[in-house]
A and B are shown apart, each in its own frame.
Chain A
Amino acid sequence: MPEPSQNFSLTLRVNGAEHRVAVDARTTLLDALRDRLHLTGTKKGCALGQCGACTVLLDGRRVVSCLMLAVMAEGRQVTTIEGLARGDDLHPVQAAFVEHDAFQCGYCTPGQIMSAVGAISEGRTGSDDEIREQMSGNLCRCGAYTNIVAAVRDAAAREG
């Protein structure tokens, strides 16, 4: 068993690549991504799990990265918004967000998209009501909600 420690040198697996990163035990996965790995696509809105802007996939499941210690993410697969597109080809959810204008300022958008990708793969986008409920952990203060539903519906249909 590892010894208790305040400082860690971790290997984080993000978007298929391994990154060595030195963190404090206190460092959240969100801060590690943004400030240590400079993967700033994942956004900080509240740092308290209350807005969804920091949503990433952890072993394929959507989580809020602000409520996870970076040390606890070691050995798991983290997928961020930067890991969705293949080169210049947008992921279908990303393309649908652009097409349906499912954002304004764009700050909640990476979190919305990661949440949508998660919801689709979980099979929870069967109806508009279900999409609305499933996307309710991601606040959009610009109020793009109905466009977000249209985008998710569309992307789910294209993927399914």
Chain B
Amino acid sequence: MQPFTYVPVADAAGAAARALAGAQFIAGGTDMLQLLQENVVQPQELADLNGLGLAGITEEGDGALRLGALTRLQEAADHPLLRERCAVAAEALAASASPMVRHMATLGGNLLQRTRCLYFRDVSTPCNKRQPGSGCSALEGENRHNAILGGSEHCIAVQPSDLPVALVALDAEVLIQGAGGAERWVPVEGFHRLPGDTPEIETVMQDGDIILAIRIPAHATRCRSHYVKVRDRASFAWALCSAAVALRLDGEGRVAELRVAAGGVATKPWRLIRVEQELLGHRLDRDRVRLAAVWASEGAVTRSGNAYKAPLLQHTVERAILELGGLA
């Protein structure tokens, strides 16, 4: 770990200034410290955002929910507004990491968690994301954790966070403050970028940008929603695959609103439009759900170690919709 300076910042403008001068931000520190310990990142300075007063969950006038970027995962998971109106997010958070990590980690930091790709975190191996141009070791390597969707020949790293998958199903947006002070809203679905030939660029965030909040629109809070996470052990593991579903039926029991997203299998939280289309306007029954879920892995490119993720993804999506629809 290279020496760095540490500085707490009191306001977003001050934080942006430090960032433009080369600082990286630290919030809960739970990913940053891992990256520092493994020498994956070498910041000159860490600017501590905890003084910005960005924690807390509130309801806006129109019924939308606003989640402060510095809210801890556990606080959000426990929050009645989230549990009652956005179960998928509360479930995704409750299934993230461990209680200790959840007490530390922030929502904003979770959106920016770096990949768990084994090569990214072992600095002795080539990795385009860590060291652009050095090559991707995962393509022909140990890639059971890697992505089958959204990859490129330069990178197939999974974005490993649970929360953003739920947020895509909730049609949520991220509020970002730019270095100049201007605020902008970015849909979570468009927040992460595909690796393409620049896997080191992971999100739409620019130098000096700060995440202020996440907003879940009112219409999504009227959906029922659910998160299913598949992992190698019963708890405390990143997802091999996950599915987030938000659903609203009309008076006739037909699907009026549906968003489905997948995690653990893609380079960014993956919206499954085709699955949604197969079900919109229909009543849910087991066969229809199963057949719709087959579309989940459309376009998947598999490798030696991750081919299982294609059927797993279909099955996880099927399970999530069936459970939400009371058909499991």
Contacts and interface: CB of A to CB of B under 8 A. Distances in A.
B234 interface: yes
A26 B35 CA distance: 12
B103 A2 contact: no
Interface string B84-122: 000000000000011111011000000000000000000
Interface string A1-37: 1111110100000000000000011101000000000
Interface string A60-75: 0111101111011000
Contacts of B97: 49, 137
Contacts of A99: none
Secondary structure of the B contact surface, majority rule: mixed
Q: Which of A67, A68, A118, A136 has the most CB of B within 10 A?
A: A67
Given A133-B235, A136-B236, A26 B1 contact: yes
Interface string B35-73: 011100000011010100000000000000000000000
B37 A48 contact: yes
B99 A62 contact: yes
Interface in B8-44: 8-10, 14, 18, 23, 26, 28-30, 33-34, 36-38
A4 B45 contact: yes
A119 B99 contact: yes
A136 B233 CA distance: 10
Given A1-B14, A137-B98, A25 B50 contact: no
Contacts of B74: 61
A24 B18 CA distance: 20
Given A63-B103, A64-B104, A119-B99, A25 B5 contact: yes
Interface residues of B, number: 36
Contacts of B38: 48
Given A6-B4, A68-B104, A115-B100, A47 B37 contact: yes
Contacts of A80: none
Given A52-B100, A62-B100, A136-B235, A67 B29 contact: yes
Contacts of A52: 98, 100
A55 B98 CA distance: 11
B101 A8 contact: no
Contacts of A134: 99
Q: Which of B1, B5, B8, B99 has the most CB of A within 10 A?
A: B99
A139 to B, nearest CB: 8
Q: Which of A4, A5, A62 has the most CB of B within 10 A?
A: A4
A72 B50 contact: yes
Contact of A28 (B6, B23, B33): B33
B24 to A, nearest CB: 12
Given A26-B36, A49-B33, A72-B48, A137 B99 contact: yes
A64 B34 CA distance: 12
Nearest to A74: B8
B3 interface: yes
B234 A63 contact: no
A48 B99 contact: no
B7 interface: yes
B33 A69 contact: yes
Contacts of B100: 49, 52, 55, 62-64, 115, 118, 137
Contacts of B234: 136
21 contacts: A1-B7, A1-B9, A4-B7, A25-B6, A26-B1, A49-B33, A52-B98, A61-B74, A61-B103, A64-B100, A67-B28, A68-B29, A68-B104, A69-B29, A69-B33, A115-B99, A115-B100, A132-B235, A134-B99, A136-B236, A137-B99
Interface of B: 1, 3-10, 14, 18, 23, 26, 28-30, 33-34, 36-38, 45-46, 48, 50, 74, 97-101, 103-104, 234-236
Interface of A: 1-6, 8, 24-26, 28, 47-49, 52, 55, 58, 61-64, 66-69, 71-72, 115, 118-119, 122, 124, 132-134, 136-138
Given A26-B36, A138-B98, 7 more contacts: A26-B4, A49-B30, A52-B100, A55-B100, A58-B103, A62-B103, A133-B235
List the 6 closest pairs (A to B, CB-CB), nearest first: A137-B98, A136-B235, A4-B5, A4-B7, A25-B6, A67-B33
